[in-house]
Chains A and B, each alone.
Chain A
Amino acid sequence: MRSLRTCIVPVIIAFLPSLIQAQDYFDDAKGSGLTVLTGKTGDAILSTRFNIGDNSIKVNFFQQYRLNQIKQPDTIDLDTYPKPPVKPQRNDIGWGAYVKGKSENGLATIFSTGSLVPGFEGNLYLSFRHLQTDSTEIRTETGSRKIKVSRWWVVLLSGGYSITRLNLYDPAKTFQKQLYDTLFQGWNAGISGFYILPVHRAADNLILGGSVSLNRLNNYGGLKKVEIKDITQDTSGGVIRQVTPSRSSYIYGTGNYAEYLTARIRASVAWIPKFLGYRVAFILYPSVNLSAKYSPQYNTGISFQFLKKGSPTVSIGGIYVEFNDMCNAFGSDEPFVTRCLTFGLTASVNIMKQ
C-alpha cells in the first residue's frame, strides 16, 4: 500500500511583508516555494505551513511517479549474468496542489474567529525530473581519480488563482463612504526549475534555480495601514460604558489602491559547503518585477538555512535578509531601510512521520 508521508511544519515569521515570491529551492521569507525537493518517487508528501509573513495557512500535497519503471520478473535466475545491466532512464513526473487561506488583517484573526476569510489562494503544479549518473575524473590533492557523479534537474509548470477581500479607507470621500471593501481576484502562471550539481572536487553542493512568471497583483501590501474602531457609548444608571465592536476593528489600507499585471524573473543560487559539515546553505536570490505601473522593481535576497544533520535537503530553520524594490519604483516616501529591508526567520517542526 502506498503511504502518505507527513510532514514538516515550518513556522515562518517575517517582520515586514515581502514582494519576492516562489523561491526555487528553499523557501524565502514569504514561505513561498513548492514541495518537490524531498519528494521520492511513488511517495506522497503532505505539508502544512503557518506563515506570519503574509498571514496565511498553507496546505501542500505533492506526488511523484517514475516513468519507464523497471519490470521485474517473479523469479530471477541469478546464475545468468546480463552484461551490461540494462537500466532505463530515470525520469519522474509529479503533480502537486496547495491551498492557502489568508487574512489581510493578521494571522491572529484566523485563530480568534476560526475563519480564513477574506483570502483564499489555490495553485496546481506539474513537475518533471531527470536524474543521471556519469563517471567523471576529478582532480584531488594527490592527483586525479575517477568517480561517479549524479546530477538532476527539475522543471515546474504552475498556475493558480487567488481571491481576497480588502478593506480600504479613503478620507477624501464622504463619511459614510470612507470605509469600503473591494474583492481582488488574482492569478499567476509560471515556469521554474533548478539544477543540482556537485562542485569543488565534487564535495560541495550547488543548486542553480530560475523562474519566469506572470502575476496579477495589487498594491495593498504597500499601502499605509490604519486601524479604525467605531465606538458606541451607552449610558445606564449613571455609568458610561464604551463598547467597541470587534468586527469593525479591522486594519484598513489607505492610499491609491491599484491592480496590475507583473512579469517576474528570478534567479537563485544555493551553496552547501563541505567545510561546514553540510549544515548550512547560503542562498542568493535576485529578481526583477516588470509591470506597466511600477517598473522595474529590483529585489535581492540573502538567506542562511540551517540543515538537518545528514539530510541537507531538510531545512530546520533559516534567516533571511531581503531588499525589495531597491530603486523605489513603487514611489514610496518611506526611508530606504523601512521601505526595502525585510528580515525573516523560519523554524521547522517535524510533527509526524509514518
Chain B
Amino acid sequence: MNPKTNPMSEPKNKTTVRFSTSVKGDITDLEVTANGYPLKVTVENGEFTCHFNGKITGGNAITVIYEITGLTGTAYSISYTCSADGINKSDPLHPSPVTGTIDIGNNDTKTVTIQI
C-alpha cells in the first residue's frame, strides 16, 4: 500500500511544521492552499490571516499558493513565518514580505515554496 495514503504506515520521522501568514491591503477576498489543501482564512485587525500546523517528510517542500481577489490596481503585501521542528524557514526567492499589485482581471496569484 502507498505510504502516502495509508496513515498506519506513516513514517515516524516526519517534521512538524508551523506556518502563519497575513495579507495586508484593500483586497476583497483571499484563498490560500498549502500543498493543495485549502486553508481557512479569517480577518484579524483588517488583515486576512491563516495558520496551520502540518506534518511533512524531511526533504519535501511546502508550496503555499495565494489567490488574491480585488479591484485591478489594488496593492497588497504578504507576510509569512514558517518553522520546521522549531527552525525558521523561508522561500529564498520570495522572502517575507512579498509585495504585489493586482494588474489584470481582478485577480493575482503568488506562490511561496519552502524547502523543509
Contact = CB atoms under 8 A, between A and B. Distances in A.
A220 to B, nearest CB: 38
A204 B52 CA distance: 36
B43 A147 contact: no
Contacts of B109: 148
B96 interface: no
Interface in A275-291: 277-278
A202 to B, nearest CB: 4
Interface stretch (A68-76, A223-231, A234-242): A68-76
Nearest to B101: A310
Given A78-B62, A131-B69, A150-B69, A85 B74 contact: no
A141 interface: no
B72 interface: yes
Contacts of B43: 3, 40-43
B106 A205 contact: yes
Given A40-B43, A85-B36, A272 B71 contact: yes
A354 interface: yes
A55 to B, nearest CB: 31
Interface residues of B, number: 49
A314 interface: yes
B67 A131 contact: no
A82 B104 contact: no
A203 to B, nearest CB: 6
A166 to B, nearest CB: 41
A78 B17 contact: yes
B73 A312 contact: yes
Contacts of B101: 310
Interface in A286-343: 308-314
A181 interface: no
B40 A274 contact: no
Contacts of A152: 28-29, 69
B74 A313 contact: yes
Interface in A54-72: 69-72
Given A72-B39, A72-B52, A74-B53, A41 B71 contact: no
A139 interface: no
B28 A198 contact: no
A78 B4 contact: no
A196 interface: yes
Contacts of B72: 198, 202-205, 272, 274, 278, 312
B25 A75 contact: no
Most buried by B among A71, A136, A138, A205: A205
B73 A272 contact: yes
Query: Which 9 pairs between the two chains have the least Cβ-Cβ distance?
Result: A278-B73, A310-B75, A311-B26, A149-B105, A43-B43, A78-B56, A202-B105, A150-B106, A150-B107
24 contacts: A5-B46, A72-B39, A72-B40, A75-B54, A76-B53, A76-B54, A78-B35, A85-B37, A87-B31, A90-B31, A131-B29, A133-B67, A147-B104, A149-B105, A152-B28, A203-B104, A204-B72, A272-B71, A272-B73, A278-B74, A310-B74, A312-B71, A313-B74, A353-B46
Interface of B: 4-5, 7, 10, 14, 17, 25-26, 28-29, 31, 33-46, 48, 52-57, 60, 62, 67, 69-75, 101, 103-107, 109
